[in-house]
Structure 1
Amino acid sequence: MARYQGQTPPQDPVISAKLSHTSGLNSAPLCALSYAFLSLTPSGDAPSPWLALGAFIGLPLALWVYKCIMLVLFQRKIIYMGYVPLDARSQELNKDISPAKGIKCEEILINGERNIRLYGILVRRDSVPPSEQQPKAVIVYFQGNAGNPLGRLPLWERLILGTSLSPGFSQPQSVLDSTAILAIAPRSYWKSTKKTPTERGIISDYLSALNYASLRFPSTPIILYGHSLGGAAAVCLSAQVKSGAFPHVQGLILENPFASIPWMVKALYPQKWLPYHYLGGFAFDKWDALSAMRDVREGKLLDRLRRDVLVVLSQKDEIVPNEMGKALYEAAQTGSSSEKSGQEPGSGHMVNIPSALHDNAWTVRQWRREMELYILSRTSKMNN
């Protein structure tokens, strides 16, 4: 453009003809406007302070709003992570993961509601004598929000095969020798039906697992054992079913349990100046185990189990705050309808496993000792 500085640039005859006939306007002003537009150069003037302030505040705000919307819309992908680890849905028993020597692991298929197919495993000691085909105790396991039952095999191997760690007791090991563990994968986990998981749906799946255990082992004491999100599931399920429907359920173990999803959101985002801190109210599935424990109605299974609950906490839990488990334990021990009716206090207690993380309390000696003693106390109560 410097070549034509101070001169009128040459005009294309076709463009000039069209401009001269546009609504009868003179073509000169339009040509001048076109030339001015084409000759624009970057300005050295600083941007407006208001524009800079708007960009400084508006960009983070827009990103926060976007992330908040994504967290709300896809929250079930975050809460229910059946896809973690990457091969969690495709692992095969005895092909990808095999039980340790001395362990017998049976793959189970249960038909749930509305054509839901639930896969799981039944774990027992391999050397169970024929006279003890009915185990002395059955643990129905409620898993956390990731992985599959095969990933918990080391836990069950430690429980069943580990050397007795309880000084002064000779019976606990014989009880564990004949303890069976039923671990069912709810919908969207492992090989179970790939259907969107919800609180109502997962509670229904675990109810099917409990029904299966009750029918297969009709005279055996059953203990519900929930870890992490599974702890909330165990509480919420037992708060909904009638006690008389499951007379052989004698115990409840909660390990590093969720108290509720809204509380977990605040624990994950403790900074009150972040918008994520306040997203708990938008949770589709609340998993409000704390309210279920506080407000359980008389005649429900939880009302019978709550006074005898065992709460196991990992001292260095990096995911679920210990305060959640403590709040659940306190709610279980206070204000129950059984206490109001003058019954004796229960045998429930809470233990804190030193140096343990969220998923590895079972590697600490104290974990197995507490499990031994609790299973023994629950089976002894039913047998007496």
Structure 2
Amino acid sequence: MLVLFQNAIIYNPFLPPNARSMTISEFSRQCGGVEWKEDRIKSLDGTEIALCISEISCGDERGSSSKGPKTPVYILYFQGNASSLPPRLPDLSGILRQLKAETKGQVHYTMICLSYRGYWTSHDRPSEKGIDLDSEAALRWVSKLHHEKHKETQVAPVTILWGQSIGCGFATNLAAKTQDAGNLPINALVLETPFTNTRAMLTALYPQKWLPYRYLWPFLRNHLDSWANLELIAAKGQKPGVYIVEGGKDELVPSDHGDILYRRCQDVQLHAEWHTVRGALHNDVMVRRHGKHIIAQSIASAVSRAQELSADQAQCLPGLAKSKT
């Protein structure tokens, strides 16, 4: 039964029962002035899926008085396995507001939250294979949006994939497997309460050796292996930074998974940071004030790092051109 109905067990778009009928307007008053809108796109197989989108601009009043073009930053958000996007919007809005305090320089943030197939108002049923198609479609949509809005700008964009829980698996899947040269390069991964892979979680949820469930991993159709994905990501030309944020009292993911992923990043030579939100449960990190601060700080750090790397590359290009003449 566990094998046959694994998708129904792993993906819970109907928790709570009214999750798929919730609307953005129901939560707009809790968003502190941050405005959200829904858009609809087609996944790679034609399935209609929904996005929640918000934008916010940040200017560094403490720093230089430069009024040059703002750096466009795109945050593609992958939710956890239950409920839908609208009830998450107040906390996501809190992080966007926090970014105003954390961000240095002129930056324009666009957050795009992906509603997986079968969730909220998206069509079809959820599965790893299908959601991977949705993720790729969302990244292509973001890339198209950037090229349409910033045709003339010379400022390099920054793309950040932010996943929570099971969403970390989809974020690392996308970073590891995307092959479309037209997509924006991925500059950073923010992994909130991540686990290493589905097999390890099966063992964690069913630790008793006499239970058969932990031995069913060969029959899984959902692998979500961030540990393996990190090596594939590191092998690419664009090496994103990885920012791991775990809950100090996570009741689902074992406490060593964050450490394992952090060490994995070090082994494959990916820049990584590892933070713990004290007292936070699995779904509690983004809700807590300290958690919002750490996530916003991680995003702002990722943006600063990407800007510095872009500036270094720009300085190297004239030297390379001169050496060829």
TM-score grouping bracket, smaller chain normalisation: 0.7 to 0.9
Amino acid paired to 1:138: Y
Structure 1 residues 286 and 271 mapped into 2: Cα distance closer, same or farther (>3 Å)? same
Separation of aligned partners in 2, 1:172 and 1:370: 16
The 3 A distance-change label for structure 1 pair 86 and 348 is: same
C-alpha displacement at 1:133, in angstroms? 10
Matched length = 292
Contact 1:123 1:156 in 2 (8 A): no
- How far residue 234 of structure 1 moved from its aligned partner, in angstroms, is 0.8
SS in structure 1 of the partner of residue 132 of structure 2: helix
Structure with the greater alpha carbon radius of gyration: 1
The Cα of 1:163 is off from its aligned counterpart by 8.6
How big is each residue's C-alpha offset from its partner over 1:137-166, in whole Å with a ceiling of 9 and x where there is no partner?
Answer: 221001111111112112212112249776
Q: Which has the higher contact order (CA 8 A, sep 6+)?
A: 2
Residue number in structure 2 paired with 1:206: 135
> 2:201: which partner in 1?
264
Say which of 206, 211, 228 aligns to 2:165.
Answer: 228
Cα pair 1:135 1:180 within 8 Å, conserved: no
TM-score, normalised with respect to structure 1: 0.69
Task: Name the SS of the counterpart of 2:157 in structure 1.
Answer: coil
Alignment equivalent of 1:315, drawn from 231, 248, 269: 248
Q: Provide the secondary structure at the position in 2 that maps to 1:249.
A: coil
TM-score where L is the length of structure 2: 0.80
Task: For 1:200, give the aligned amino acid.
Answer: K
CA distance in 2, matches of 1:289, 1:279: 19
- Match in the other structure for 2:323: none
Output one character per residue of 1:141-197: Cα deviation in whole Å (capped at 9) or x when no partner.
Answer: 01111111112112212112249776xxxx44975xx4221001111111111x232
Over the residues paired in the alignment, what is the CA RMSD in angstroms?
2.8
Once the two structures are superposed, residues 259-308 of structure 1 have per-residue CA deviations (whole angstroms, 9 ceiling, x without a partner) of: 2112111111111112223222321111122122245572366xx12xx2
SS at match of 1:213: helix
Residue pair 1:136, 1:220 contacting (<8 A) in 2 also: yes
**How many angstroms apart in 1 are the aligned matches of 2:225 and 2:98?**
35
% identity of equivalent residues: 29
Map 1:1-384 → 2, pairs under 5 A:
70-94=1-25, 96-99=26-29, 100-125=31-56, 136-162=72-98, 171-172=103-104, 175=107, 178-193=108-123, 195-218=124-147, 220-242=157-179, 245-294=182-231, 296=233, 298-299=235-236, 304-305=239-240, 308-334=241-267, 336=268, 339=269, 347-380=271-304, 381-382=306-307, 384=311
Deviation of 1:230 (Å): 0.5
Letter in 1 for 2:7: R
Structure 1 residue ranges without an equivalent (≥5): 1-69, 340-345
Deviations 1:67-119 (A, max 9, x none): xxx1111110011111111111111221x332524111111111112221111
Q: Which consecutive unaligned segments of at least 5 residues does structure 2 have?
A: 60-66, 148-155, 312-325
| Letter of the 1:140 counterpart | L
